[in-house]
Structure 1
Amino acid sequence: MMKRRLKHRHIALETVLLAVWLTKLIPAWAAVYSDTIYPLISYGLSAFSNLFPFAIGDLFIFLSIAGVVIYPFYGHFHRKLPWKKVLLHDGEYLLWIYAWFYLAWGLNYSQKNFYQRTRIPYTAYTPEHFKAFVDEYIVQLNLSYTPANSIDRDLTGKETVRLYNLLSDSLRVHRPPHASPQAKTMLFTPFISMVGVTGSMGPFFCEFTLNGDLLPANYPATYAHELAHLLGITSEAEANFYAYQVCTRST
């Protein structure tokens, strides 16, 4: 019975890995995943993660790393398993994590890029265009200055969702799966602050997290950036672009 269950588990893992690799290789499959399957996955996983007030993805990653490191010693010295079997168990677990990452979110890396999705013609970079943009950006930034000593986080979330819904069709980005996406605070904020990370996308449970030390002035753009990742945007440059579009359109 044990061998049969083991065989079935290995067949399931091989099937999932094959599906992942084929989706990464076949553009049509990647399009079906990102356009049709991922919105359903993100809705379900984010609904589940929203049941918890803390970042379960951060906890899952921490426990997984701890387990992968500790299990070989436990398996070999306590359960008296040979090193080869112990390492095979660890390797199988890592393969399941790999498959889960891609099925839950990572296959969005294989989707079409921004220009292909929106059919907006690519404009080549020129120093003149860039300088004109930066000059205008600085002028508008200075004109919009206001002291920001606090931030209404609930209002920021509602406004960001409203604008993503408005931009969804024209800029080819998914609508938020829920009316009030829950931005979790990173579990290890002090450490994360030391390495300079302001936010992250938790792919295993489709939740996005923000650094607990974020200043009010940084909160809206970071929120909009990380929400873009939840909406299936994998490119950091594209997530910055969507955050810029959202924030500059808000009154």
Structure 2
Amino acid sequence: MKPKYLLPIFLLVQIVIVKTLALFPEFIENYYSKGLYPKIAHLNRTLFGAIPFSIGDVIYVILIFLLLRWIWKNRIDFWKNWKTNGLAVLSWLSVFYFFFHLLWAMNYYRVSIEQKLNIEKEYSMAELEAFTLTMIAKTNSLQHQITNNDTTAVVIPYTDPQIFEKAKNGYNNLPTPLKDFQYENNSIKPSLLRYLLSYMGFGGYLNPFTNEAQINTLKPKFSIPMTTCHEMAHQTGIGSESECNFIGFIAATKNDDVYFQYSAYSFITRYCLRNLDRMEEGKSEHFLEKLNKGVLKNYDEHDIFWEYYQTPIDTFFEFFYDNFLKINQQEGMISYSRFVGLMIGYEKVDSVQ
């Protein structure tokens, strides 16, 4: 067999192996998520954690440059040499697919938190309404505690590095059933590509090759503590976006710092309001009236920021990422909001215990 066919064929073999292993989540859980992955993550975060800038972003910039240069050099006879160029693309995809899954992405197929904790994430309208009222009360209380009035927006007084450092406290305080997701070796960075992330609609991401948590520090600061805790959840070996929101929310609410608590509760309250509208159009309006004006000012700050960066680029990447999540055994972009159900189910189980 000619060498140029090896990597493309290896890509097909890899896909078959990964999709077969995905049928055995307990095997993935025991031998990868709790076995190989923690060692890989520890090594990467030890190597890159102390470096003040994002190595992963630098790697991405270099790879994008090389890709564009290759396309430019082959532009004239690109389609004429479609077979050679196609094999080259498949070869690179094969290498990417291998390291993506080896270094992090097999975590997509581990045992779900829903199964681990024996919780049900489906809920009724009445349950969502009751939960939303509780979250509104907590959000209002924290906003008032911080500002000493109902009308002032919360302003976080920390620098980004201070937020990243304080985030560990919440993971140290995780309840016993979630101790599997302890966090060690900080590797949290402001993304060098934060303007691009803003146009793409992303608040942050985990680089699966370097295990660095990348935070879009352009976004409103009141939301950054929760985003940081979410990306740290990915670093602990969680692939599911809903589960990262779930673990990130609990870590932020268990943090001793009141600004982290506010970031988390204001975050989940927005999702509760969205989910109410998904179940019944206009349902959230009555609940919005119960929020303090200071909280609404933070929400306006959030909306103005994302509206400023709303372009066709954002629409494209939302479509792309929605389908990427579906390929990796998730429900698409709606996965993010599913954590509300996880929290409702978790509180039921927690209250019984």
What range is the shorter-chain TM-score in?
A: 0.7 to 0.9
Corresponding residue number in structure 1 for 2:164? 157
What one-letter code is carried by the residue in structure 2 that aligns with 1:30? Answer: I
Corresponding residue number in structure 1 for 2:232? 227
Contact 1:30 1:110 in 2 (8 A): yes
Aligned length: 244
Corresponding residue number in structure 2 for 1:144? 142
Contact 1:156 1:220 in 2 (8 A): yes
1:200 is paired with a residue whose SS is strand
Shift in Å, 1:29: 3.0
For residues 233 and 2 of structure 2, the distance between their equivalents in structure 1, rounded to whole angstroms, comes to 43
For residues 20 and 207 of structure 1, the distance between their equivalents in structure 2, rounded to whole angstroms, comes to 24
Would the alpha carbon gap of residues 237 and 63 (structure 1) be closer, same or farther in structure 2, given more than 3 Å must change? same
Which sits farther off after the overlay, 23-32 or 93-102? 23-32
For residues 211 and 153 of structure 1, the distance between their equivalents in structure 2, rounded to whole angstroms, comes to 10
Corresponding residue number in structure 1 for 2:25? 27
Offset from partner CA, 1:48-77 (integer Å, 9 cap, x none):
222533222223233333433432553687
For residues 172 and 88 of structure 2, the distance between their equivalents in structure 1, rounded to whole angstroms, comes to 44
Corresponding residue number in structure 1 for 2:38? 39
What one-letter code is carried by the residue in structure 2 that aligns with 1:236? Answer: E
Corresponding residue number in structure 2 for 1:49? 48
Which of 124, 127, 138 lines up with 1:126 in the alignment? Answer: 124
Shift in Å, 1:209: 0.5
Corresponding residue number in structure 1 for 2:203? 198
Contact 2:189 2:214 in 1 (8 A): yes
Shift in Å, 1:19: 5.0
Would the alpha carbon gap of residues 12 and 50 (structure 1) be closer, same or farther in structure 2, given more than 3 Å must change? farther
> 1:1-251 residue pairs with structure 2 within 5 A?
20-31=18-29, 32-74=31-73, 83-118=82-117, 120-122=118-120, 124-145=122-143, 146=146, 147-167=154-174, 169-171=176-178, 173-178=180-185, 181-251=186-256
What one-letter code is carried by the residue in structure 1 that aligns with 2:25? Answer: P
Would the alpha carbon gap of residues 115 and 155 (structure 1) be closer, same or farther in structure 2, given more than 3 Å must change? same
Which sits farther off after the overlay, 222-231 or 12-21? 12-21
Corresponding residue number in structure 1 for 2:272? none
TM-score (norm 1): 0.81
Would the alpha carbon gap of residues 35 and 95 (structure 1) be closer, same or farther in structure 2, given more than 3 Å must change? same
For residues 208 and 255 of structure 2, the distance between their equivalents in structure 1, rounded to whole angstroms, comes to 28
Shift in Å, 1:88: 1.7
Structure 2: segments with no counterpart, 5+ residues: 147-153, 257-353
Corresponding residue number in structure 1 for 2:312? none
Would the alpha carbon gap of residues 249 and 203 (structure 1) be closer, same or farther in structure 2, given more than 3 Å must change? same
What one-letter code is carried by the residue in structure 2 that aligns with 1:182? Answer: S
Shift in Å, 1:30: 1.3
For residues 123 and 228 of structure 2, the distance between their equivalents in structure 1, rounded to whole angstroms, comes to 28
Structure 1: segments with no counterpart, 5+ residues: none
Which sits farther off after the overlay, 105-114 or 90-99? 90-99
Shift in Å, 1:85: 2.9
For residues 126 and 73 of structure 1, the distance between their equivalents in structure 2, rounded to whole angstroms, comes to 55
Contact 1:76 1:86 in 2 (8 A): no
Would the alpha carbon gap of residues 207 and 166 (structure 1) be closer, same or farther in structure 2, given more than 3 Å must change? same
Offset from partner CA, 1:181-212 (integer Å, 9 cap, x none):
13212222223223332111111111110112
Contact 1:39 1:177 in 2 (8 A): no
Which sits farther off after the overlay, 33-42 or 57-66? 57-66
2:213 is paired with a residue whose SS is strand
Would the alpha carbon gap of residues 15 and 46 (structure 1) be closer, same or farther in structure 2, given more than 3 Å must change? farther
TM-score (norm 2): 0.60
Report the identity percentage: 24
